[in-house]
Amino acid sequence: MEQPISATVAVNAEERTLNRIAIDVGASKSSVATVEIVGNHPTKTATTGGDDVRVLTVNEYKKAGYSLALSFWEDHSSRYFIDTPDTAHWSEQQKWDLHLRMMEYITYAHLLKGLVVSAGPDYDCVALWMPPSQNMDDYITLLRSGMWRLSYQLSPLGRDRFFNEFLPLLNHTKASVLGPRDQDSWYLVYIGTKPSGRGKGYARKAIEYVTKMADQDGKACYLESSNEVNRMIYGKMGFVLKKEIWLQREKENVGLDIMVREPVGTEERERERESDADSGVDVK
């Protein structure tokens, strides 16, 4: 969805301003968690455009957020917060603007506290990972990322769905499925591939960048998937369906698959790759 020139100029100006702020507070590079993780697990990453996986920094949050917004624009779980009875009078542009801001805020929060990677030459696939012992629930992260703005930017019904149904359901489900490992596992919060980048294996690269580290450390990986097609794709990467949950305040319930990948050894991982050709389908 293209933005008008005036909006693009405004976005670029805002990005420059936030970049300067990020530099002032020492957040222009990678988060402390990212530096520690990457430092402890040296692996090949791209430093410029290309098909390899690249670890993103705070000043890239706009482009990464835009990629995720494109990826999830038609996703039922994303539309759940903007297609509410009290937004029936909103234009699609208004809904897109809010959807984009949500993705930017969430991306920024993960750049501050988690690990954000991309694959493909133009942010074709972006993955937001939360490492073990990390979360984005502290007040400083909520303030700096802009997540707090959603409390007044969402409509009353959208706000209720997001803060009183969606987030509590995800938190409770993750804790119940993982048990004592809840805070000692990798959490794939979002992964999206732009329509133009699908079918090229970018999502697999963005996922395997972390699952290799998780295997080395003996950590499980957890995700929620809102697209039933992806159940098979994630399954080929070692994820197992554990539970199905439902968002229930719309005319039709919105389902989410809960999947967990247990750590595997190097030999087992290589056997999986050899027996699994890329399906040509990429996750949203």
Q: Span 130-141, mean pLDDT? A: 81
pLDDT at residue 88 in the model: 96
**Is the model's pLDDT at 276 over the cut of 60?**
no
Cα–chain center distance at 68:
7
In this structure, is residue 44 part of a structural domain? yes
Domain CATH code at residue 132? 3.40.630.30
Asked whether residue 23 carries a pLDDT value surpassing 50, the answer given is: no
Asked if residue 126 is part of any domain, the answer here is: yes
Question: Among 11, 2, 132, 136, which residue's Cα sits nearest to residue 61?
Answer: 11
Q: Give percent of the chain above pLDDT 70.
A: 75
Which pLDDT score, from 0 to 100, does residue 29 have? 62
The mean pLDDT value of the chain amounts to 84
| H or E stretch at 60 | none
The H-or-E segment that residue 54 falls in is strand 53-55
Average pLDDT over residues 107-135: 94
**Cα-atom radius of gyration of the chain, to the nearest Å?**
18
Tell me if 283 is assigned to some domain.
Answer: no
Q: What is the pLDDT of residue 273?
A: 57
Note whether residue 210 is domain-resident: yes
Q: What is the number of structural domains in the chain?
A: 1
> Does residue 60 lie within any of the structural domains?
yes
Range list of β-strands (E), 83-133:
115-119, 125-130
Cα 79-84-89 angle, rounded to 5 deg: 110
pTM value? 0.81
Averaged pLDDT, 220-239: 95
Residue 190 placed within a domain: yes
Sign for the pseudo-dihedral over CA of 67, 87, 12, 109: negative
> Does the residue 282 lie in any domain?
no
* Average pLDDT score over residue span 192-198: 95
pLDDT tens digits for range 25-37: 444 566 666 666 7
Residue 145 contacts residue 138 (beta carbons within 8 Å): no
Tell me which residue range forms the domain holding 80.
5-274
Q: How many CB atoms lie within 10 A of CB 201?
A: 19
Residue 279 lies in a domain: no
Q: Give the integer Cα–Cα distance in Å for 119 and 72.
A: 17
pLDDT(205) > 90: yes
